[in-house]
């Protein structure tokens, strides 16, 4: 198995897959090999089906099952060069609406964050619609503070995009990058280098707990809130799509269901 995993990692690196994707693919390929050997399965089709069904029976999410299937497909097609197509469809994903915070709730979370560096990072996550990984990866040269623009480089799918900066943060951002070179991280760790996403997520959860907000939100909910609030203010969905970096506009249109003003104007028949 070691040789297969080494070859898989080499292939993933040559294809320029992100570290996170490489880690996930290697994890599921390792699990697949162990599962199929333990079950003594010789048929590739049955081995994959049973592997995925086992995940379904363990009540794992459709997203997890699809990621496992993608990993196994990569193994056979790109590493083992197996010409036989894997005839399996992806698991149907649950259609959950994103959980959105109100303006007041976001201000409460920001106010509850005592550490000034983390407070600015949380504020930027909402103000620019950034993923947690994008906030910690920001470099001084990515910010055009005078023009109120941030350049997000090498984001999900290896795509660059532009987003907006709020005027309210100009002074804080100038102070954060004062004396730094263009390639220095805006929010470096105390030990040098980049902060971990785990540390920022942990701080967000701590600030959230102080507010008493009961919604099941994460740092990513700030990005959901950014998109929803822009649509509520009348921003065209196509511009929101560009700011979020969505390839397909249908991904962005999910937020129109959260912010549908016609639905919000309907009153319950209970007086």
What residues contact residue 19 under an 8 Å CB cut-off, 6+ apart?
none
Residue 151 designated active-site: no
Residue 158 designated active-site: no
Which of 25, 32, 118, 255 is labelled catalytic?
A: 255
Residue 223 designated active-site: yes
Name the CA radius of gyration of the chain, rounded. Answer: 22
Which of 55, 139, 223, 229 is labelled catalytic?
A: 223
Backbone angles phi, psi at 268, to 5 degrees: -65, 145
Residue 156 designated active-site: yes
Q: What share of the chain is helix, strand, coil (3-state, %, to 5)?
A: 60, 5, 35
Nearest in space to 32 (alpha carbons), one of 83, 88, 103, 94: 88
Does residue 151 contact residue 160 with C-beta atoms inside 8 Å? Answer: yes
Residue 246 designated active-site: yes
Does residue 17 contact residue 71 with C-beta atoms inside 8 Å? Answer: no
Residue 103 designated active-site: no
Which of 131, 139, 224, 229 is labelled catalytic?
A: 131
Which of 31, 156, 180, 194 is labelled catalytic?
A: 156
Q: Phi-psi bin for 234: left (phi > 0), alpha (psi -120 to 50), beta? A: left
Distance of alpha carbon 257 from alpha carbon 246, whole angstroms = 17
Annotated active-site positions, please? Answer: 131, 156, 220, 223, 246, 255
């Amino acid at each position: 198995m070691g040789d297969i995993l080494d070859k898989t990692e080499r292939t993933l690196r040559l294809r320029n897959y992100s570290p996170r994707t490489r880690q996930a693919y290697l994890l599921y390929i390792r699990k697949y090999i162990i599962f199929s050997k333990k079950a003594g399965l010789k048929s590739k089709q049955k081995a994959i089906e049973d592997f995925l069904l086992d995940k379904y029976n363990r009540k794992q999410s459709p997203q997890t099952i699809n990621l496992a299937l993608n990993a196994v497909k990569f193994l056979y097609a790109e590493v083992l060069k197996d010409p036989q197509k894997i005839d399996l469809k992806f698991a149907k994903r649950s259609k959950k609406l994103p959980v959105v915070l109100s303006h007041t709730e976001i201000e409460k979370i920001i106010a509850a964050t005592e550490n000034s560096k983390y407070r600015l990072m949380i504020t930027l996550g909402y103000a620019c619609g950034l993923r947690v990984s994008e906030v910690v990866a920001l470099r001084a040269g990515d910010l055009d503070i005078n023009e109120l623009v941030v350049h997000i480089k090498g984001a999900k799918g290896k795509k660059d995009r532009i987003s907006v900066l709020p005027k309210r943060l100009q002074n804080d951002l100038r102070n954060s990058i004062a004396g730094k070179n263009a390639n220095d991280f805006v929010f470096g760790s105390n030990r040098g280098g980049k902060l971990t996403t785990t540390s920022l997520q942990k701080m967000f959860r701590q600030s959230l707990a102080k507010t008493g907000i009961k919604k099941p939100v994460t740092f990513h909910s700030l990005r959901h809130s950014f998109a929803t609030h822009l649509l509520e203010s009348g921003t065209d969905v196509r511009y929101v799509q560009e700011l979020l970096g969505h390839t397909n506009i249908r991904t962005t249109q999910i937020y129109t269901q959260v912010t549908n003003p016609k639905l919000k104007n309907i009153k319950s028949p209970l007086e």
